[in-house]
Chains A and B, each alone.
Chain A
């Protein structure tokens, strides 16, 4: 197991209101971690802090120093910010945004960037949509485009914030299958935030359960055999998660 990112004793506050405290866990290369917890448990706050969108009050978030290139986190939000049909952006233009992270100065695209965009569109099976306006696509197609944008820059870690909350159940399943495939076949390290405990249990390899602090972090085997978790969740809820995973 190669550590990729270490979160140590992290605390995040909104003004005087403490949202997260004492958060510590390690993300290894190739992990697929599901982040779950009740409403207001700090799931989105955690990923915003990891992405640098919120200041860290205490503790630290650090990438493994042995990283071959500058670490970059790919990010997939709940839905496209500009999802209406009037915003003029083609799929190719949106995906290319993901390549800007390592660029300095004018951040112009070159021929190899166009090639990378073509590859990721093909990998996610949306090459035929490359010249379509993103706002004219379905919710599922838009999420695939944003996933392609997050993957375009070959991120060290991919963070997804409730990516399927606006999708139909059938499209949701195929989206989760695609993520699983990216993790298994392409070796993408993934942190997936979701309310959907059943899907998290079914598709991810590790569970991080939050309630303003870490309630559980580990593999499903550890989770399912933990008496502490049985008493925390109740045997029935624990079984439902474990049954989906097996």
Chain B
């Protein structure tokens, strides 16, 4: 019966779009997540998601495309976080906290100034992948492929910088450029991902697949493979389950991610691997 419903759902354009965009963005999140989590920068995803709340509010206020407004502003916010850490001598988490809380305050202020778009803003808080437009699909596909291509191109360099920044510099890698590169890619991915699961849940797409993989994997490449599998399977299960059981798609995707983490945690605790 469920299989028939899945087949039936694939006839709908919005389901096919949701799957395409969801899978691509979850791939970006999984690839970037391993570098962010291992460098103890998981919260940058959360911080930038909060920034995206303010930028979406601003875009709706200006009647502009949220994606077009959000991407450059979130990239700038990621630079601000790095600059605060480097120049103001703040720890990374404090810099993220500053930018994040300032952005939320700004977003709330803008939202209160224009009461008319509160419903739209809610759809960005918790995601609305099923109502994604054709233009958003095109932008998301192009940018996701770009993010993935850059991560794959610099994969080995990013691995060394993540493992041992001093050794990376001895090898002649420009670690500062690498850090800014990761910040830009994360900002783009967050901006795209808020359509899938919303600003409140996007950081879970970055954190869950990686921490799930870390429970059971020995090597870096195997961690990436596990994280990518978990991320993609969670999106597929989440989209179909939300269609079959009439559930909110973003939250369902995150709950599947959570379930995979629980399984891998138990596998590790029971020493099955």
Listed in ascending order, the chain A residues whose CB lies under 8 Å from chain B are 51-53, 73, 75, 77, 80-82, 86-90, 92-94, 97-98, 100-101, 105-109, 131-133, 149
Contacts and interface: CB of A to CB of B under 8 A. Distances in A.
A53 B159 contact: no
A149 B167 CA distance: 10
Contact of B169 (A52, A94, A149): A52
5 contacts: A81-B163, A86-B214, A100-B157, A109-B156, A133-B219
A100 B160 contact: yes
B156 A89 contact: no
B246 to A, nearest CB: 38
B140 interface: no
A5 to B, nearest CB: 15
B208 to A, nearest CB: 16
Contacts of A108: 156
Contact of B156 (A77, A87, A107, A131): A107
A73 B38 contact: no
B164 A93 contact: no
B112 interface: no
Interface in B160-177: 160, 163-167, 169-173
Contacts of A52: 169-170
A90 B218 contact: yes
A130 B171 CA distance: 22
Nearest to B218: A133
B233 to A, nearest CB: 20
4 closest Cβ pairs, A-B complex:
A90-B219, A88-B223, A81-B164, A133-B218
B222 interface: yes
B134 interface: no
B245 interface: no
A81 B154 contact: no
Contacts of A105: 153
B167 A75 contact: yes
Contacts of A80: 164
B235 interface: no
A97 B158 CA distance: 11
Nearest to B158: A107
Contact of A107 (B157, B220, B223): B157
A89 B219 contact: yes
B166 A81 contact: yes
B163 A53 contact: no
B171 A100 contact: yes
A98 to B, nearest CB: 8
B214 to A, nearest CB: 6
Contacts of B242: none
B218 A131 contact: yes
Contacts of B164: 77, 80-82, 97
B166 A77 contact: yes
A153 to B, nearest CB: 8
Given A88-B218, A88-B222, A133-B219, A93 B170 contact: no
A175 to B, nearest CB: 19
A111 B159 CA distance: 19
Given A81-B164, A82-B164, A108-B156, 11 more contacts: A77-B167, A88-B213, A88-B219, A89-B163, A90-B220, A97-B159, A97-B164, A100-B160, A100-B173, A107-B154, A107-B156
Contact of B220 (A51, A89, A106, A132): A89
Contacts of B165: 81
Contacts of B220: 88-90, 93
Nearest to A48: B166
Contact of A53 (B157, B166, B214, B221): B166
Nearest to A88: B223
A149 B164 CA distance: 12
Contacts of A53: 166, 169-170
A93 B157 contact: no
B217 interface: yes
A82 B170 CA distance: 17
Nearest to B211: A86
A155 to B, nearest CB: 10
Interface string B199-230: 00000000000000110011111110000000
